[in-house]
Structure 1
Amino acid sequence: MTAPLLSITDLVVEYPGRRRTSFRALHGVSLDVRPGETMGLVGESGSGKTTLGRAVLGLAPVSGGSITFDGADIGTATKQQRRRLSRDIQVVFQDPYTSLNPAMRVGDILAEPLLAQGIGRGDARARVAELLGQVNLPLDAADRFSGEFSGGQRQRVAIARALAIDPRLIVCDEPVSALDLTTQARVLELFAEIQERTGVAYLFVSHDLAVIRAISHRVAVMYRGRIVEQGSVADVTERPQDPYTRSLLLAAPVPDPGEQRERRLARLAASAAARVDDTTPSTDPMTAEAAR
């Protein structure tokens, strides 16, 4: 079996409180991402999945456990070490409308990480043209501002920026949740095409199991800062073992009213069967979200 590219072991993330109390966002989380694969991380709002991605990127405090990338510990990397890591680890954020600088032309946005790595302007321009072709945008997009594009096109620009310096891992934080369903499908196809062509690995964060099922090789299900189930995409989405995972699957809407009614009843039954404690959740995701 191929050695993991990214290994997260017993990761704890705590945020300090105002009155000497702290909030623990992650409770001993462990998972790995292998070269060239997509590890899907799914859970409802507040489950800790985005915190996990931020910890990998050095944007959340690591209070315990370890994060290793290609065998090197990066959980406590310095700012200088993080700058070097940016060549290998990139990110695509959720909102395509705020993740791009509206005052910069697309060509400058894409050239910025290249110039930061010491690549000459001529080579950077050539690479920008190549990147636009990879994400199926016209060459003249380089001379336009991000505000001139649709949400799906902006996310393609964000993906191109993440790919600019040939990273080995991209953390994808809800990268299609702000897009309509048709555009979601196109962007997911683009992610898959890029992975097949370049061999890049993804840590793909989403609240939507349908998205995770479409893009992932393996899946980890998070709830209350813990992973309650993980395995191949077929095992987790077709033969779930944990009550919360079953409830999460049943919460996904279907277009047929009769089937939707049956799923609602099954979801209630799954919620009732779940254990009520901090380690194995029992609350239906739709009910929990409504209660917030």
Structure 2
Amino acid sequence: MTEPILDMCNVQVQYPVKGMRKQPFIALNGVSLDIRPGETVGLVGESGSGKTTLGRTVLGLAPVSGGRINYRGRDITHLSRHERRELSDEIQVVFQDPYTSLNPAMTIERILTEPLTARRMPTAEASKRVRDLLDSVGLPSNAAHRLPREFSGGQRQRIAIARSLALEPKLIVCDEPVSALDLSTQARVTDLLIEIQERTGVAYLFISHDLAVVRHLSHRVAVMYRGEIVEWGDGDTVTSDPEHPYTQRLLLSSPIADPVLQDERRERRARSVVG
């Protein structure tokens, strides 16, 4: 079996709470999961379940109070700021909101060139790389000279994806990347992510509250509830025939297009609970 590109073991994240006698807030409580090269691991749960905090720990943006995080065999749990900056070549992120994740005062070319010039890439090479990036996400080369406000939400998210690919990372943390988009645009963006993965072999940690979206592109799925992973396994199994009651409730809350099938599914789940 292929060695994981990312391996999280018993990770804990706690935040202090004001007041001398108050216990700290436990955002993550002994979380373990791994991601293999070229794999998508879906992380699903309701708001406040801890899934975004888990993504932030991978990016070094949340304080880890216990456990460890290994990336390609290296312990990255407590890296310095300089070490984290160097690691950003290999671990990137796509944020939730395409309207605020791009600098409105910068052209698309400047947005995409910024990480390249930070790595001292020659200007001519950087310009060619920008054209290639735009082409890879289905945008014309003349988009480079426009501002973010001139694009739709789906197009802005494509630009954000292009930026995350600029340094040819091995792992991208996708934090609710389609939740702010309409359904048809969601489908186009998720299909784009799958296409990029097949072409480049990049791995994704895909964070979402929507089981239907996670089912579409995840090889394995972890379900979070109150800072813990309560179900973890094959993507099709977890999102279609889950064992844990919490995952079953998530499945029931995710509507399907056929109202008759939706009613049958609810009745079947209700009978299984009673039984």
Alpha-carbon distance, 1:30 to partner: 0.1
| Structure 2 residue ranges without an equivalent (≥5) | none
Equivalent positions of 1:1-292 (< 5 A) are: 1-20=1-20, 21=22, 22-265=24-267
Shift of residue 271, structure 1, vs aligned partner:
7.0
**CA separation of 1:166/1:272 partners in 2, compared to 1, >3 Å: closer, same or farther?**
farther
Percent identity at matched positions? Answer: 63
The structural deviation recorded for 1:259 is 3.6
Relative to the length of structure 2, the TM-score reads 0.95
Q: Does the 8 Å CA contact 1:247/1:270 hold for their aligned counterparts?
A: no
Structure 1 residue 256: Cα displacement: 3.5
How far apart are the structure 1 equivalents of 2:103 and 2:202?
A: 25
Q: Which residue of 2 aligns with 1:281?
A: none
Q: Are the structure 2 counterparts of residues 4 and 41 from structure 1 closer, same or farther at C-alpha, using a change threshold of 3 Å? A: same
Number of corresponding residues: 273
CA distance in 2: counterparts of 1:257 and 1:160, whole angstroms: 38
Give the secondary-structure state (helix, strand or coil) at the position aligned to 2:163. Answer: helix
Length-normalised TM-score, structure 1:
0.90
CA RMSD of aligned residues (A): 1.5
Give distance in 1, aligned partners of 2:120 and 2:78.
26
Q: How many Å apart are 1:203 and its aligned residue?
A: 0.4
C-alpha contact (below 8 Å) 1:11/1:65 kept by paired residues:
yes
Report the Cα offset of residue 260 of structure 1.
Answer: 3.4
Distance 2:68 2:159 in 1: 32
Alpha-carbon deviations, 1:212-240, whole Å to 9, x = none? 00011110011110000111112212331
Letter of the aligned partner of 1:72 in structure 2? R
Task: Tell me by how many angstroms 1:91 deviates.
Answer: 0.1
